[in-house]
Amino acid sequence: MLPNARLGPSSATFLEAIFTATSAVCVTGLAVVDTATYWTPFGQVVILVLIQVGGLGIMTFASVIGLAVVRKLSLRSRINAAAEVRSVGLEDVKGLVRGVVGISLIVEAVVGVMLTLRFFTGYGEPFGRAVWLGVFHAVSSFNNAGFALFSDNIMSYATDPWIGLPICGAVILGGLGFPVIVQLRKHLRSPLKWTMNTRIVVVGTITLLVLGSVFITAVEWNNPNTLGPMDWPSKILAGFFQSVQTRTAGFNSVDIGQMDSASLLGMDVLMIIGGGPAGTAGGIKITTFAVLFFILWTEVRGEVAVNVFGKRLSRAVHREAISIVLLAVAVVIAATASLMLMTDISMDELMFEAVSAFATVGLSTGITAGLPPAGQAILIFLMFIGRLGPITFASALALRDRRSTYEYPKERPIIG
């Protein structure tokens, strides 16, 4: 809200500032103002810092500061950092935190250099401006934020693979999750050493990327407002790019508001699934969706134990996955219904906006800025819950863990 953060004679309003700050630190990318023309370079730097902190995670970032200042981590810091990066033990949290930060900086640096060279040599941007564009979009893409420094997001570069593919690569890597990236770095050529989590995330990511690309490209192939005017290589690139962005990144190379309703519905599904756990992606996570799929597959086959890649799933994982999905569905439906009561906008657009906020994606049909203040407050709430996770939020509301010292007799209702 500082005057020098906004271009113009006055400061940003509280709602504009809190919406932008929440969207940045929750690495979502939804915006009520144009990032390129509303904020000064100082304001854009604030957004960039919030994206980086939000992508690394508050506890991970705090641990980095602790390591830099006192050269060691307290037990509480180790526990918090281990919980945030989904470490199973406290033996080498310090090394894991350093690994997370190192991976982030390396990927951002490589993508930043690629984008800088393209903006500088391909589009004649002054070198300083090219560096700023390269760094900002590299950080925004790896952290799955979706903030861009162009008024049309990435639409002007929809047919340029030298812009689109580096951004997609950073988004995919960020969406895998830090535990998966760390393991792939150590055992990339030894899949037998991969954990169940890594296998599910890798297989699920490839499957969803392929299915999403084929679906979006096929539905939008002849749409005159999206892929229609492009040649076929550009259509494939744009379809792939948009499929990648539904993994919770939020960049768009076509006008989302002009896409077919079927595309929006398919993207709703992809957004709610999201990416890998303990990374920069949102959604219910690929692992949660995979657990539900394997539970269904086991039930259909009439088996008792749920087996995945030669390992048996714990029943506690069943309950957690079902709880996360039901809470997510309840939150999105409640938010969509509330938005419908406030506006005359169609349900598919409002649901798309709600799912995008909850899954911390940032894709929009263009209605965010036109929502009433109460509607924008709902989106802020959704972004906050989506970044924390529905289970974490529900646990915080419950305040304490209640344990029963007795059990009721069993009885089975009729199902189906």
Helix, strand, or coil (residue 308): strand
Helix, strand, or coil (residue 158): coil
Kindly indicate the confidence band of residue 189, based on its pLDDT and cuts at 50, 70 and 90.
Answer: confident
Report yes or no: 180 and 87 within 8 Å, Cβ to Cβ: no
Report yes or no: 156 and 133 within 8 Å, Cβ to Cβ: no
Residue 311's DSSP bridge partners are 308
Stretch among 10-14, 45-49, 71-75 having the lowest mean pLDDT:
71-75
Helix, strand, or coil (residue 299): helix
**Better-predicted residue by pLDDT, 62 or 70:** 62
| 276 domain residue, yes or no | yes
| 407 domain residue, yes or no | no
| 404 domain residue, yes or no | no
pLDDT score recorded for residue 402:
63
The rounded distance, in Å, linking the Cα atoms of 5 and 416 is 57
Please tell me the total count of domains within the chain: 1
Q: Which helix (H) or strand (E) holds 312?
A: strand 311-312
Per-residue pLDDT of 331-349, as tens digits, reads 999 999 999 999 999 999 9
State the residue for tokens 């799933």: 313
| 411 domain residue, yes or no | no
Range of the domain at 332: 3-398
Kindly indicate the confidence band of residue 226, based on its pLDDT and cuts at 50, 70 and 90.
Answer: very high
Which stretches of 123-249 are DSSP H helices? 127-142, 161-176, 178-187, 196-220, 232-245
Is residue 398's pLDDT more than 80? no
Per-residue pLDDT of 251-309, as tens digits, reads 999 999 999 999 999 999 999 999 888 777 888 999 999 999 999 999 898 888 898 88
| 408 domain residue, yes or no | no
The rounded distance, in Å, linking the Cα atoms of 246 and 209 is 9
Is residue 229's pLDDT more than 90? yes
Which residues, other chains included, contact 116 with Cβ-Cβ below 8 Å and sequence gap of 6+? Answer: 130, 131, 133, 134, 135
The rounded distance, in Å, linking the Cα atoms of 26 and 280 is 9
Which of 298, 269, 305, 301 is closest to 286 using CA atoms? 269
Report yes or no: 258 and 226 within 8 Å, Cβ to Cβ: yes
Which residues, other chains included, contact 44 with Cβ-Cβ below 8 Å and sequence gap of 6+? Answer: 35, 136, 149
Question: What would the mean pLDDT of 96-110 be, rounded to a whole number?
Answer: 85
pLDDT score recorded for residue 2:
95
Among 47-61, 80-94, 179-193, 283-297, name the most confident range.
283-297
Q: Residue 26 carries which DSSP code?
A: T
| 379 domain residue, yes or no | yes
pLDDT score recorded for residue 397:
61
Exposed (0-12), middle (13-18) or buried (19+): which is 394, by Cβ within 10 Å?
Answer: middle
Which stretches of 13-74 are DSSP H helices? 14-25, 35-38, 41-56, 58-70
Kindly indicate the confidence band of residue 57, based on its pLDDT and cuts at 50, 70 and 90.
Answer: confident
Question: What would the mean pLDDT of 399-413 be, rounded to a whole number?
Answer: 77
Give, rounded to a whole angstrom, the gap between the first and last alpha carbons of the chain: 54
pLDDT score recorded for residue 62:
58
Mean pLDDT of the chain: 88
Is residue 353's pLDDT more than 90? yes
pLDDT score recorded for residue 110:
97
By residue count, the chain amounts to 416
The rounded distance, in Å, linking the Cα atoms of 104 and 119 is 22
Main-chain dihedrals φ then ψ at residue 308, nearest 5 degrees: -135, 120
The rounded distance, in Å, linking the Cα atoms of 32 and 377 is 11
